[in-house]
Amino acid sequence: MISVYNIDKKELVGIFASTSIAGCYVFGMFESRIRDRIQSGLTEKKRIYNSRFDFPIAVRHSSNRHLQLLGLNHGVVFEGYPSASTINIGGIKYSNFVNEKSHESLS
């Protein structure tokens, strides 16, 4: 499970069930090089630039609290960020997303 952060605001953008789903949300498409950039961000703790956002992001393994929020969903996206409805990866559609209203659910 992957958590994506807005580095500038120091807040959580979303929580995703896999690196592929996170990559598709962050870059708006899926390719193996996208998944590799997410994986590199995880292992090397590097900032990621040139995503669909105009700010740098960080990706980290999700905490237990984040895993509870994710539940059986494919992703959770927080208020202020583009919602996710369906993500298509290799012909498989992932559509079980939750759009959270605020970060208060993390308290």
Is 10 a residue whose pLDDT tops 70? yes
With bands split at pLDDT 50, 70 and 90, how would you rate the model's confidence at 90? confident
- Mean pLDDT for the chain overall: 86
* Measured distance CA(27)–CA(106) in Å, rounded: 25
What mean pLDDT do residues 85-102 have? 76
Delimit the domains of the chain by residue range: 2-106
With bands split at pLDDT 50, 70 and 90, how would you rate the model's confidence at 3? very high
Cβ burial 13-23 (10 Å sphere, 16+ → b, else e): bbbbbbbbbbb
Which of helix, strand or coil describes residue 70? helix
Predicted model pTM: 0.86
Residue the block writes with tokens 């992703």: 75
**What is the pLDDT, as a whole number, of residue 59?**
95
